[in-house]
């Protein structure tokens, strides 16, 4: 017990208290500096860089300063970084096995950044999940789905999986597939569709609308009519045009295809054979 108190009182020497005070001071100043530098960088980069790069640079600066603070703090406490590196050698092997996935995610994240396939704010679809990229972090990205859910996707998944970026190109093509009855006037139908696209201000004049024959099907001749529009107007064009198409077809009496079945009845047995035989026989007993 006396040894214990002696040990404790040995810790509370003036020199050690001073050391602890310096270390605490370094920690506080370091953390405050990291926070301030992060805030300043975010403000500076707000108009000079994309949100993605601003976020990454800010976090890199913060994490870097925090790591430096910890090293300096440990140095103040008498723990030399060299000693840490020595002991780290043993831990590295253990940590390496444990953090394979994390390392893979970090490296995948760097590759994704370099590739530039998407950025913060883009609407993407990964593995059936569609959402806006709200942050690109070291290990994962976060999506805000269209119904306001947060989905986290590991960077490694993005590298391995096919994903679609709806915001990469500035213009999009809206495709409309439809079938017309075989007795419809296809030339008139095409003219109507082209007139609708010409009248709609959000449908591009160039690239010009596209009218493509697809197939002769069972009940219809199938076509595709496509128009180009600015990406931000895609939904409006997608919703407007079908209504106008149907209205135009109705007004011009152009029949839209419906599933059609023709039933043909034939007399298989000639008269005077089975029918007559059946007529002359006794009815079956109950």
Partner 1 sequence: MLEQWWGSFEVPEGQEGRFEVSALQLWVRHVPGEWRLKSLVDDERQAQPFSWYCQPVDSSAAPSEASLLRLVTRANDDRVFVRPALADRAIVVHTETPMLLLPNQSVELFMGLPLWVVVSQTENGEPLLDLPIWRPSDTWFGPPTQEGELCYAGRTSARLNMADMPVRSNLAWTVIKLRNTGKRALPFERLRVPGTSLGLYAAQNGWLWTETVHIDKRGAAFQTEARLGEPPREVAGPLERVSRSRAELSGTPLARALRVLVR
Q: Give the binding site for partner 1 (CB under 8 A).
A: 169-171, 198-207, 228-230, 233
Q: Which is nearer to partner 1, 108 or 233 (CB)?
A: 233
User: Is residue 186 classed as helix, strand or coil in its secondary structure?
Assistant: helix
Instruction: Please say which residue, 89 or 170, places its beta carbon nearer to partner 1.
Output: 170
Q: Which residue has the tokens 């990406």?
A: 231
Report the alpha-carbon distance of residue 245 to residue 225 in Å, rounded.
10
Stated length of the chain: 286
Nearer to partner 1, 78 or 116 (CB): 116
Decide: 220 and 182 in contact? Cβ < 8 Å. yes
Coil, strand or helix at 10: helix
* Nearest distance from C-beta of residue 226 to partner 1, angstroms: 12
What minimum distance in Å lies between the beta carbon of 197 and partner 1? 9
**Hunting for tokens 């007139």 — which residue is that?**
195
Query: Which residue, 198 or 217, has its beta carbon nearer to partner 1?
Result: 198
DSSP assignments along 250-270, one per residue? HHTT-PBP-----------SP
Cβ-based nearer residue to partner 1, 180 or 203: 203
* Least distance CB 143 / partner 1 (angstroms): 24
Shortest distance, position 102 Cβ to partner 1, whole Å: 35
Q: How far is the CB of 117 from partner 1 (least distance, A)?
A: 13
Longest dimension (CA), the chain: 128
Q: What is the spatial distance between Cα 28 and Cα 36, in angstroms, rounded to a whole number?
A: 12
């Amino acid at each position: 017990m006396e040894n214990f108190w002696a040990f404790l009182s040995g810790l509370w020497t003036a020199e050690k208290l001073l050391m602890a005070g310096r270390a605490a001071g370094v920690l506080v100043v370091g953390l405050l500096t990291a926070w301030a530098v992060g805030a300043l960088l975010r403000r500076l980069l707000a108009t000079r860089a994309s949100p993605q790069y601003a976020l990454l640079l800010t976090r890199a600066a913060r994490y870097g300063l925090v790591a430096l603070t910890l090293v300096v703090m440990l140095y103040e406490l008498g723990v030399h970084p060299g000693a840490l590196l020595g002991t780290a050698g043993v831990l590295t092997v253990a940590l390496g096995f444990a953090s394979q996935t994390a390392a893979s995610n970090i490296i995948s994240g760097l590759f994704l950044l370099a590739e530039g396939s998407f950025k913060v704010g883009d609407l993407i679809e990964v593995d059936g999940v569609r959402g806006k990229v709200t942050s690109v972090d070291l290990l994962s990205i976060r999506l805000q789905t269209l119904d306001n859910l947060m989905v986290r996707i590991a960077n490694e998944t993005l590298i391995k999986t096919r994903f679609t970026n709806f915001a990469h190109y500035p213009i999009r093509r809206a495709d409309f597939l439809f079938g017309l009855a075989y007795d419809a006037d296809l030339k008139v139908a095409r003219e109507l569709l082209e007139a609708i696209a010409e009248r709609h201000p959000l449908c591009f004049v160039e690239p010009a609308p596209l009218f493509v024959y697809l197939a002769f099907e069972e009940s219809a001749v199938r076509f595709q009519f496509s128009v180009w529009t600015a990406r931000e107007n895609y939904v409006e064009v997608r919703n407007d045009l079908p209504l106008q198409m149907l209205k135009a077809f109705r007004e011009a009496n152009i029949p839209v295809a419906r599933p059609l079945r023709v039933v043909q009845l034939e007399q298989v047995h000639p008269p005077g054979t089975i029918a007559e035989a059946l007529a002359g026989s006794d009815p079956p007993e109950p």
